[in-house]
Homo-oligomer: A and B are copies of this chain.
Amino acid sequence: MKVSRQQAGENRVRVLNLASRRFRERGFQGVSVADLMQEAGLTHGGFYKQFESKEDLIAQACALAISDNLEAYKQLAARNRRRAVKAIATELLSAIHRDDPAEGCVIAALGAEVSRADPATRHQVTNGINDILDLLAGLMPGRSEKEARQKAVAAYTTIIGAILLARAVDDPKMSDEILKTARTSVMAMAAVS
């Protein structure tokens, strides 16, 4: 059956949003096209009317996911004017975020897979990372732009490494220790020096 242009567009967006969550939960290869479509309330056949291939879906889902990340950080920054970086770090380094990758940081969830992915996917992610680093640099105290950018990179790498480690480890105490230590470390970077 055919469906209105609007309905079709909504369906496409629904699939894309769902994919961006499932990929972060299970990895690219852990999500099948058929399962995804079914969970979106559709059948597998229509998939190729909306996307060129699974790779294409991956690229679009990653672009969406990382732009959602950026948007969320902007919101956090807006709601915490003077302590923007601290607010973002607290959120990213929380147990809640560690335990629910679905809507969380794309790099911590998919970084290694992205580095093996399609050029298109890598490019979308690269742009997203650059935007995030720009945002963080703008929020960092620092004598110069250069210093702010360096602090932003240092903070972002620490955050991502900590999430990755905290998720990999099966010992809750160690996992909490990692998150807490990273929070302290990033707070120090965000403090006026």
Q: Flag if A165 contacts B107 (CB, 8 Å).
A: yes
Q: How many residues of A contact B (CB 8 A)?
A: 45
Kindly list chain B residues whose C-beta atoms are within 8 Å of the C-beta of A150: 181, 184-185
> Is A114 among interface residues, defined by CB-CB distance under 8 A?
yes
> Is A34 among interface residues, defined by CB-CB distance under 8 A?
no
| Complex: chain B residue closest to A109, CB-CB | B112
* Stretch from A1-9, A35-43, A82-90, A170-178 forming part of the interface with B: A170-178
Judged by DSSP, the binding face of A is: helix
Q: Which of B107, B169, B177 contacts A164 (CB 8 A)?
A: B107
> Is A144 among interface residues, defined by CB-CB distance under 8 A?
no
Please measure, in the bound complex, the distance between the C-alpha atom of A170 and the C-alpha atom of B124, giving whole angstroms.
9
Q: Which of B126, B129, B156, B167 contacts A111 (CB 8 A)?
A: B167
> Is A123 among interface residues, defined by CB-CB distance under 8 A?
yes
Q: Flag if A116 contacts B164 (CB, 8 Å).
A: no
